[in-house]
Structure 1
Amino acid sequence: MGLGEALAILSALAWSAGVIIYKRLGETIVPTRLNLMKNLIVLGLLLPTLAVIGEPLPRLGAAELAITLFSGLLGIAVADSLYLTALNRLGAARMGVLGNFYSPFVILLSCLLLGERLGPLQMLGFVLVSSGVLVVGAPAVQEPAARREQRLGLLLGVASIALMAVAIVLVKRILETQPLIWMVALRLAGGIGGLALLFAWRRESPLPGRAERARIRWPVVLAGAFVGQYLSMVFWLGGYKYAPASVAAILNETTSIFIVLLAALFLHEPLNRRKLLGVALTLSGVACMLLA
């Protein structure tokens, strides 16, 4: 297993833990405000990280810096806010299903813009991984929900995943040649700047009100920011830095499998045969990707 592949799988594990935490937090905190809070916490974690590891400053031209910041604005300020909104409407399981759109979007954009190609074993891995997450995520029965809310949630979820794919492919070539943690910090700065502009445009305060502050569980917010944003973002970008974008995207698909396993472990949700079949298919697909 290469470094990029290992980081992509660790990113999926960290993000899946974050999704479960964010679902709970989203019940009491507005999605855009939750997004800003967790990103400010992560920025506070990245600054001492940079001081400790002593990475050299990135050498970016004006165009490369603009692309990096725009990638953060698109992928963090816009896509993450849409994702958290859709998560509140659809729940973690259905968002896991929508996550299947991520790797096809990245693969398509990588083929069109980066000239990447998948070999036969990697294509088999893609099919197995996608099949596994679909088996796991497909609801056995239709859950009662307002049709309008469901449609809006689906639209927001697909839009968020498409924008995440666009954002990472835009910055892929720059990421390959620059210090990893600095690139994480620059994209995060772009995301925070975008969220600040959004609050200014809406004429809303980015700070939670007194009633909202009383409901915030700060230890959970800190845990979600550290695991679901800090670790997952560093691992995620590291996967794209050290592995082809299409391979990293497919390995990121294991997120929904990790959600199932973590939900069974911490939320005591049953692991039925359908879920176990999905886990087996996905792990087989990951093995194909790693052996290719």
Structure 2
Amino acid sequence: MTIAYDWLALGAAACWAVTGLISAPQSRHLGAFAFTRWRMGLVFLALAPVAWLSGGLQQLSLVQLGILVLSGLVGIFIGDTALFASMNRLGPRRTGVLFATHAFFSAVLGFLFLDERMGAQALVGGVLIVAGVMTAIAWGARKDESHAFESLQGHWPTGVALGLLAALCQAGGSFIAKPVMAAGVDPMAAMVVRVGVTCLAHLLLLWSGVGLARAQGTMTPRVLGLVLLSGAIGMGLGMSLILLALRHGEVGMVGILSSVSPVLVLPLLWLTMGRAPARGAWWGAAMTVGGTVLVLLRSHS
């Protein structure tokens, strides 16, 4: 049973890899706050009627609702906004290595508060995955690369801090939601609550007159379509897979497996930029694949 949820976490990683490339230009165009606000709003409008008609929302208790609200504020409102603010400064590849540290944060939270323990094979596999992701991203670019995805914009230390904040919030949001998802809550209903509170928080920020919340570029039909596509794949599908994985999967292991998305980004960047990644990227990818195989084949006692 657990292996099935491992694959769900890997599926979420694939969704996030695709949305990273779709989202980067749109986030730079609109700004992190406006992009996240539009993205969450479109996802909420699409999923809320489905969750209501299916009865999942009505079955939530007040306690479960409160936990999901807190999870959404930490994991999506703060986490996603910080992620795209980091991406605007560092690009999707560099942001990927920072965001991949959510695997470490997830493992620590699971160990300290949920008494999660990994067997030797799973531990070796997890270390290989994290090391592979770091290797692939840190040494995955050519020195003469000039593509917009590789350009630095603004104050890069701020981008690093935002990327680490996004990783910590992603781990924290999953950790907070774990008890509710383990109780068998409908993932669609959980997603709607988390996204809905994020929309409300972004709107309150905009209405308060905070300058950062305003859009930096104009919304066009093309940008709107790409924002919707990003939300459908990354939030509608990807985050639902994570929530489903958390029903029976350990927070730490789900975090580790979902952290492989930066490695999955590499072949997509190859297609986008027309150049193969550097040798370090392939070494990192090989380590990640090996670690993933160890985790998926681990024995469960």
Please give the TM-score of this superposition, normalised by the length of structure 2.
0.87
Aligned with residue 230 of structure 1, among 236, 245, 270: 236
Query: How far did residue 219 of structure 1 move?
Result: 2.3
Instruction: Specify the code of the residue in structure 2 equivalent to 1:200.
Output: W
CA contact (8 A) 1:18 1:228 kept: yes
**Cα deviation digits, residues 170-204 of structure 1 (max 9, x gap):** 11011111111111111111211221222233356
Structure 1 equivalent of residue 261 of structure 2: 255
Aligned with residue 201 of structure 1, among 202, 208, 232: 208
Please state if 1:171 is matched with 2:177.
yes
Structure 1 equivalent of residue 227 of structure 2: 221
Aligned with residue 190 of structure 2, among 180, 183, 188: 183
Two-structure CA RMSD over aligned residues (Å): 2.5
Say which SS state the counterpart of residue 26 (structure 1) adopts.
Answer: helix
Instruction: Specify the code of the residue in structure 2 equivalent to 1:197.
Output: L
CA contact (8 A) 2:100 2:260 kept: no
Structure 2 equivalent of residue 280 of structure 1: 286
Structure 2 equivalent of residue 64 of structure 1: 64
Distance in 2 of aligned mates of 1:104 and 1:203: 33
Q: Once the two structures are aligned, what percentage of the paired residues are identical? A: 23
Moved more, 58-67 or 262-271: 58-67
Distance in 2 of aligned mates of 1:6 and 1:120: 20
Query: How far did residue 258 of structure 1 move?
Result: 0.8
Instruction: Specify the code of the residue in structure 1 equivalent to 2:102.
Output: Y
Moved more, 54-63 or 17-26: 54-63
Please give the TM-score of this superposition, normalised by the length of structure 1.
0.90
Please state if 1:92 is matched with 2:92.
yes
Say which SS state the counterpart of residue 277 (structure 2) adopts.
Answer: coil
Aligned with residue 192 of structure 1, among 199, 203, 208: 199
CA contact (8 A) 1:3 1:242 kept: no
The gaps in structure 2 that reach 5 residues or longer are: 145-149
Distance in 2 of aligned mates of 1:112 and 1:74: 19
Structure 1 equivalent of residue 38 of structure 2: 37
Structure 1 equivalent of residue 147 of structure 2: none
The gaps in structure 1 that reach 5 residues or longer are: none
Cα distance change, pair 175–104 in 1 and its aligned pair in 2 (3 A): same
Distance in 1 of aligned mates of 2:244 and 2:255: 12
Distance in 2 of aligned mates of 1:214 and 1:244: 41
Say which SS state the counterpart of residue 117 (structure 2) adopts.
Answer: coil
Instruction: Specify the code of the residue in structure 1 equivalent to 2:276.
Output: P
Corresponding residue pairs, total = 289
Say which SS state the counterpart of residue 270 (structure 1) adopts.
Answer: coil
Moved more, 154-163 or 260-269: 260-269
Structure 1 equivalent of residue 164 of structure 2: 158
Instruction: Specify the code of the residue in structure 1 equivalent to 2:193.
Output: L
